[in-house]
Homo-oligomer: A and B are copies of this chain.
Amino acid sequence: VPAPARTSIDAIVAAGLSIVERDGLPALTMERVARAVGVKAPSLYKHVGSRGDLVRLVGIRLVTDLKWTLEAVASSGDPATDLRSMARVMRAFAHRQPGGYRLLFAQLPDEWRPSADLLAEASAPVVRAAAQLAGEDRALAGARTVTAWAHGFIDMELSGAFRLGGDVDAAYEFGIETISRALARPL
């Protein structure tokens, strides 16, 4: 006798996102997700393979959002402007949903993480702008310098590593200026 599904993969992923954002990844338990969508924990296994699988689906949703956000500001025509905009948008994304951002860059087993292809897609606009700014032969190294700096800054900021006071917003703008200007000049 067929029985209609009382929940859906979309509802489960949405609940997962909300829990991660509110209380962090350790709070993303099967029992809590099940309660949020109105079933018991074992039923979730009809929709996801495992807890790690659910973490991956939440991550895919987040990296897709980030990709759209980056693309939306990467078409000014000027690569330096695009790089600055993308750096600011990445930090704004992290401030808007710190739990989600931290999940994206958390140290997780490979099977829990979005595919390498999707991550490459998301970073494509940064690589493109870096190539235009620094030249094709320095494109990859330039893109890695920008993304490493932006990610490292945001990661340290969210971890509370900037405890020495000072103006953190100004330090981010300083970094954007320093790096985008340096990339525009030959070594």
Residues of A in contact with B (beta carbons under 8 Å apart)? 25, 102, 105-107, 110, 116, 119-120, 127, 138, 140-142, 144-145, 147-153, 155-156, 159-166, 170-171, 174-175, 177-179, 181-183, 187
A93 vs B153: C-alpha distance when bound (angstroms): 20
Establish whether residues A127 and B164, one from each chain, have CB atoms under 8 Å apart when the complex forms.
yes
Give 14 pairs: A residue, B residue, CB < 8 Å, sorted on A: A116-B163, A119-B163, A127-B164, A144-B153, A144-B162, A144-B166, A144-B174, A145-B153, A145-B175, A148-B153, A148-B156, A149-B152, A174-B187, A181-B182
Q: Chain B's nearest CB lies how many Å from the CB of A119? A: 7
A155 vs B144: C-alpha distance when bound (angstroms): 12
8 smallest beta-carbon distances between A and B, as pairs: A152-B152, A148-B153, A148-B152, A182-B182, A141-B174, A149-B149, A141-B171, A140-B166
Q: A151-B155, A153-B144 are in contact. Are A178 and B175 (CB under 8 A)?
A: no
